[in-house]
Amino acid sequence: MTLDRYAKIVLTAIALSLAAIALRPYLSPPRTLAGANASDLYIEPGVQMLRAPDGSRQQLGKVVVDLRTGNIWGFPTGTDAPYPIALSTSEMPTSTPFLLGRFDLGAMQK
């Protein structure tokens, strides 16, 4: 008689433990990060006139700041569209960035 009661108690404890494990993600879902590396970049909204520091280039494009290094990159688009457009070819256009400058992000902690 006591063995039967002991088995029922153990099986009930196991069932409750499994239910707690199964319900935990629904009651308190874990925090997720989508694209952790993407959070290291800040993409300026809109299109800006990009000017190379040495004066060799000037064209419309997107400004991207690398928050890890403080480097500011310009991605030329050629038009005031927020993405590169190839008007004459059928292949996908690719925008090659050039360095615009650098923010000294380490100086903020001094």
DSSP 21-89: HHHHHHHSPPP--S-GGGGGEEE-SS-EEEE-TTSS-EEEEEEEEETTT-EEEEEE-SSSSSS---SS-
Cα(24)–Cα(1) distance, rounded to whole angstroms?
Answer: 35
Report the pLDDT value the prediction gives residue 38, as an integer from 0 to 100. 58
β-pairing verdict for 48-51 and 58-66: antiparallel
Nearest to 64 by CA among 74, 54, 77: 74
Write phi, then psi, for 23 (nearest 5 degrees). Answer: -90, -15
pLDDT score recorded for residue 18: 94
pLDDT of residue 98: 93
The stretches in the chain having pLDDT less than 70 are: 1, 33-38, 110
Q: What is the pLDDT of residue 80?
A: 86
pLDDT of residue 37: 60
Q: Which two tokens stand for residue 71?
A: 């480097």
pLDDT at 92: 83
Name the pTM for this structure: 0.59
Query: Where do the domains of the chain lie?
Result: 36-104
What's the pLDDT score for residue 50? 93
